[in-house]
Amino acid sequence: MKAKIVWTFDLVEDLERVPEIYLKHIENTDGLYEIRVQQGSNIFRIFCFFDQGQLVVIANGFQKKTQKTPTNEIEFALKIKAEYESEK
């Protein structure tokens, strides 16, 4: 799984336009994205956001076990984003 996550990070870093299957904007948020990693039945979501359009800042991640992304995970990622932006 670790190798698949690293592979997906490399993909996000290298491609100018990353397919939505790997990187998707979270609806109703201001610039929060999820990096989507799946290997077999294991599904992981890693929240991130962009700084200055180029730097990808990793916020938090979790193993997805339900169809819907848990609200508390999104709220936690937004809190990390707000803290990052206020300390900049």
pLDDT digits (tens, 9 = 90+) for 19-45: 999 999 999 999 999 999 999 999 999
Q: How far apart are CA 26 and CA 41, in angstroms?
A: 22
pLDDT of residue 52: 85
pTM surpassing 0.95? no
CA 37 and chain centroid, separation: 9
Look at residue 3 and tell me whether its pLDDT is greater than 90. yes
3-state secondary structure of 34: strand
pLDDT of residue 36: 96
Q: How far apart are CA 4 and CA 6, in angstroms?
A: 5
